[in-house]
Amino acid sequence: MKKTISITLFAILLIVIFLSYKSNKGDVIGNTIKIGAVYPLTGSRAYMGVEYKRGVEMAVEEINKKGGVNGKKIEVIYEDDAGDAAKAVTAVNKFIGVDKVDFVFTAFSPTANATAPIAEKNKTIYFNASTVKIGNGNYVFKDYWDMGLQGQAIAKAIKKEGMKKLGMLVMVHPATVAYMENLNNELKGYNIETYREDFIVGSTDYKTQLAKIKSFNPDAILVFSAPGNDSTNIVKQIIDLKMDNLRLFGGSSALRTGTVSDQFPEVMAKMKTVDTWYNIDITNNKAVEFKNNYEKKYNTKLIGDAAFPYDDVYLIAQVLSGLDKGANSIDILNQLKTAKYDGVAGSMSFDEMNNSIRPAYLEVDKGGKWIKYE
């Protein structure tokens, strides 16, 4: 009896030691590299979510066609959160608990705030495409353009164009904070007067704010708004108030997107609009090839969002290819933190909080054609 109890206790001890070792060393990737990707594939943000999904699809298809990574194919499980953080939570729990994925891909800061802690708790490597920095999770990575660097770049463009008085119409949103903070810090050294009016996302009437900006008598307007109806209505009302004789600068690509530039091509050209864009440098051969392949495959124009998860899949492949087949999640994590990759959306690396560092990229409308601003 005592011998049986001793053997049982010994077996339990071995299991505990194994689980402890597994917890400390991380899971070893199996015969297939599994990614769980949850994006808004329906709803108001589907136009971006579908692009993210396509970026993942393209990278996975290309890599698998070449034999995968160290002989292992990549498999992706997709879920639709329709822009709902609660649905994203359900999807990420499924990815980790049921599908046993090695990596999780998501988009947007509300989704990240709800799902990143789940990945962190379960020690699952997690990538989010968001303008807002997520926090200091060890397993959580953010890869998207950096709003702070974009704000700094726009400020330098405003200075370069010789502007002296800048009126600003800015949406109230977390993404605004880093952008405006860096823009204002950069402008301090340029002796440029500024006047700012804020608005709530989803507003329809901006004439009161624009009238106040007009009375400031600026030589340029900065518009920081969400792509879509906000930016479209703002430009309409700029025209109504006869303010389209000024220079126009943007943020978050809201003026550069098709919803505005396609509707008001003459106004965008007249105001010599400068806006941030997705780092899809049209002079970069890798980016040009990606853009052409995307538009041929999906028979639609590339916005730019697809580039980020596309690069992330290739970054993961690069890291894995440099490790042994038996590498575990801790090995992969440590390599990701110090990795550098020259991607479609520009060069990338990560800071101490796992937020990607990507160069700012601007475009200007010259004669109805958007070109790289230099």
pLDDT 10s digits, 204-263: 999 999 999 999 999 999 999 987 788 999 999 999 999 999 999 998 788 887 678 888
Q: What is the mean pLDDT of residues 78-104?
A: 97
CA distance linking residue 1 with residue 289, whole number of Å: 72
Give the C-alpha separation, 362 to 157, whole Å. Answer: 9
Contact between 62 and 306 under an 8 Å Cβ cutoff? The reply is no
Tokens of 289: 């090839």
Residue-level length of the chain: 374
Contacts of 292 (CB under 8 A, 6+ apart): none
CA 374 to chain centre: 23
Token pair recorded at residue 69: 């990574």
Determine the average pLDDT of the residues in 170-196: 91
Residue 195 token pair: 């006047």
For the segment 146-157, the average pLDDT, to the nearest whole number, is 91
Q: Tokens 């550098």 label which residue?
A: 340
Architecture of domain 32-145+284-357: 3-Layer(aba) Sandwich (3.40)
Confidence of residue 173 (pLDDT cuts 50, 70, 90): confident
Q: Give the per-residue pLDDT at 34.
A: 97
CATH superfamily of 147-277: Response regulator (3.40.50.2300)
pLDDT at 9: 46
Mean pLDDT of 73-96: 97
**At what angle are helices 207-215 and 229-240 packed, to 10 degrees?**
50
Distance CA 367, CA 36 (A): 43
For the chain, give every domain's residue range: 32-145+284-357, 147-277
Q: What is the pLDDT of residue 227?
A: 75
**What band does 17 get if pLDDT is binned at 50, 70 and 90?**
very low
Look at residue 321 in the predicted model and tell me its pLDDT.
95
> What's the average model confidence in pLDDT over 320-325?
90
Check residue 25 and give its pLDDT: 45
pLDDT (0 to 100) of residue 26: 58
Residue 19 is predicted with a pLDDT of 40
